[in-house]
Amino acid sequence: MIARCMAKRPADRYASARELLADLDALDPTAVTRSLVSAPTAAARAQLSAPTSSSPSTATIAPPSLNERPRLQKRMVFGALGLVALGAVGALALRKPAGRLRRAGAVATQGRAPWGRRPITEDPPPSSANAEALRAYSEGLRASRDGARELALERYTRAAQLDPGLAAAHLRIALERGVERGRESFLRALGLRGSLDERDRALLDAMAAAYTETPTDFAAASARLAAVAQRFPDDVQVLSTLGRVQGEHDLRASVASYQRASAIDPGHVPARSAMADSLAYLGDLTGARRALEECLSVSPSATACLREQVLLDLAVSDCAAVETRTRRWLLLSREGGAALRFLAYGLVGQGRSLDAVRETLVRARAAQAPERRAQSEQEDARALATLEGDLAEAARRGEAVEALVEPGRAEGDHATAARALALILEEQGRAEEAARVAQRFLERRDAWETDPRTDDRSLERDPTQALISVRLRAGALTATAAQAQRAARRQWWERRQSALPEVGGFLWIAQHAAGAETPAEARAALEALPRFGGLPPYALQPSMHVDAVVGRTYLLAGRPMEALSPLTRAATSCYALRFPVEQMRAVRDLGVAREATGDRAGACEAFKRVVDRWGRATPRSVTAEDARARMLALGCG
């Protein structure tokens, strides 16, 4: 408040006394009295020492308590603020700007306590000597509340660049990026812990179990955050962070925390969008949709809620809805990168021109951080070449991606690159080369940094079972050796397994179904499914083609009728750009399942789709060759 009173620019000062009084009403008078009256002026001392009818005749007067003397304290606070404001040109103007700003931040932090029952944008500002850094940080808070994650990260990063000692900015960057990519920022905040306010120190300490341990101990972090929530029961930042961590091991508890945060601040978009995510994982798609509609009714420009709607549309393969919502998203926000990539998914899923898709991806990359563009360009070119049937070019692009991720430390980046390249090589009949790509990844995997989480996305990102299969099909691995390697990886994951019951189905998909190569293995995998809680209702932002894996397992086990539903979803998925080889193989498998269930016309339609896409692939497509042979056997026209 003092800093605002003394601001040089009129726009930064209080617009009126009414605005100043509103802030005074929110003060903790005891804290402010301590900070402002610790060295009173002579006139103020005389006024405070003057006896009144209600006070004893003594020269020493202790600050009155909140319950005993509220009106007197407000007058004291107001008078002190007035003296500070009026004296700004004089004595206070002689102080160094850095000291003035830091002391002002400290007083503001004390004055706004106790915490809670307000938007995060009204929380006390952190202490900083850099006014521009504080402004960028404030803009980041507004973007966070509005659900504009990319903009929030940009502004928090700017604040940290302007003032590297601004611990609150580093903490917010870590919270926005999450445990996998936010560790560096979290450690910086940890090193600056002493400059954080009480609430943020509590958040930092509670989240240490999530950011500094592998695998991430979300249960411990959740328990510590629950204790923080007892200290700050009405704090939106605390409740929203608690809900996010609970979402990794207790979805119903996370929904309750998000509901509490939304009740305090209906305009806090992250709580509403994340609540929808938790509801979807619980299988309540209707509830998730309702939560997102409520979010958009409160904040029509809430792009975080539009993004969640797009993810739900992708989960049910509604590619037309994906296009509609992403175009609205682009109208509402400058954050075009993610929206444009989702738009490209929707266009491919509807069979639109690949030239339109290519141009959309060019625009998406232009909105990315510069350091990500080179890799994204190669990944996009790899996917488009695969869809067009230029598998030789796709392999060259895949090798370029591997070269770009080679210096990286994250296992996930190497995993995605290796799986894509191995499948492209295998599709051309270059099985031995594919096996070498698989072997190179598997032998070096333990040298890289493992994803600290144990959620569905980290499970799906692990290509171990798929790459073991590539080596097995190439004859580079015996069946006995393959079984031993598969079992070892399953045991490794089950030791790390999250307490979240809803993740069990993803563990089964990634480590059991994905490793089935024979009818006996597929039957064994399906027999084990109940132990993992059954299939998950939806896959949000999958890192593997989940429905394709599930459908193939049922088909291989001799249960084609049950394979039809997942294979139909896989064949009509909006994720063809992300999983081009897996999707075309799923279309072929759908044809096989339809043939096995007596649907000759449907089988011919599926096989024809594969041939139309890859019938002229260069140098060749083994899946298209198989589909053509099946068409001939069926006598398809």
Percentage, residues of the chain above pLDDT 70 = 81
Average pLDDT, the chain: 84
Give ∠ CA 421-426-432 in degrees, rounded to 5: 95
Residues 536, 502 contacting (CB under 8 angstroms): yes
Q: How far apart are CA 453 and CA 506, in angstroms?
A: 13
CATH numbers and ranges of domains, the chain: 2-112 (no CATH), 120-316 (1.25.40.10), 555-637 (1.25.40)
pLDDT at 267: 94
pLDDT at 334: 67
DSSP 65: P
Long-range own/partner contacts, residues 359-363 (CB < 8 A, 24 or more apart):
363/336
Most confident among 11-15, 31-35, 509-513 (mean pLDDT): 509-513
pLDDT at 376: 97
Whether the pLDDT of residue 74 is over 90: the answer is no
Q: Which range among 59-63, 231-235, 467-471, 606-610 shows the weakest confidence by mean pLDDT? A: 59-63
Whether the pLDDT of residue 45 is over 60: the answer is no
Cis preceding-peptide flag for 501 (omega within 30 of 0): no
Q: How far apart are CA 239 and CA 264, in angstroms?
A: 10
Q: How far apart are CA 13 and CA 4, in angstroms?
A: 5
Whether the pLDDT of residue 91 is over 70: the answer is no
Torsion angle, CA of 601/603/609/612, rounded to 10 degrees?
-80
pLDDT at 380: 98
pLDDT at 455: 80
pLDDT at 94: 35
Whether the pLDDT of residue 435 is over 60: the answer is yes
Q: Phi and psi at residue 99, in whole multiples of 5°?
A: -65, -40
Q: How far apart are CA 453 and CA 445, in angstroms?
A: 16
pLDDT at 101: 40
pLDDT at 38: 34
Q: Which range among 235-239, 386-390, 455-459 shows the weakest confidence by mean pLDDT? A: 455-459
Whether the pLDDT of residue 30 is over 70: the answer is no
* Range 401-415 average pLDDT: 96
Q: How far apart are CA 61 and CA 310, in angstroms?
A: 63
Residues 6+ apart with CB under 8 A from 420: 382, 398, 401, 581
DSSP 612: H
Q: How far apart are CA 587 and CA 363, in angstroms?
A: 30
pLDDT at 115: 67
pLDDT band at 260 (very low <50, low <70, confident <90, very high): very high
* Range 262-277 average pLDDT: 95
Write the pLDDT tens digit of every residue in 203-221. 999 999 899 987 788 888 9
pLDDT at 87: 43
Whether the pLDDT of residue 82 is over 50: the answer is no
Q: What is the largest CA-CA distance in the chain?
A: 111
pLDDT at 599: 98
Whether the pLDDT of residue 324 is over 90: the answer is yes
* Range 80-93 average pLDDT: 40
Q: How far apart are CA 453 and CA 458, in angstroms?
A: 6
Q: How far apart are CA 140 and CA 169, in angstroms?
A: 9
Whether the pLDDT of residue 42 is over 70: the answer is no
pLDDT at 452: 78
pLDDT at 498: 58
Instruction: Give the predicted TM-score (pTM) of the model.
Output: 0.78
Q: How far apart are CA 586 and CA 594, in angstroms?
A: 12
Distance from chain centroid for Cα 276: 13
Residues 257, 267 contacting (CB under 8 angstroms): no
Residue type, 611: V
pLDDT at 107: 36
Write the pLDDT tens digit of every residue in 355-366. 999 999 999 999
157: region left, alpha or beta (phi > 0 left; psi from -120 to 50 alpha): alpha
* Range 100-124 average pLDDT: 60
Whether the pLDDT of residue 32 is over 50: the answer is no
Residues 6+ apart with CB under 8 A from 94: none
Q: Which range among 173-182, 191-200, 383-392, 515-524 shows the weakest confidence by mean pLDDT? A: 173-182
pLDDT at 182: 93
Write the pLDDT tens digit of every residue in 131-168. 999 999 999 999 999 988 888 999 999 999 999 999 99
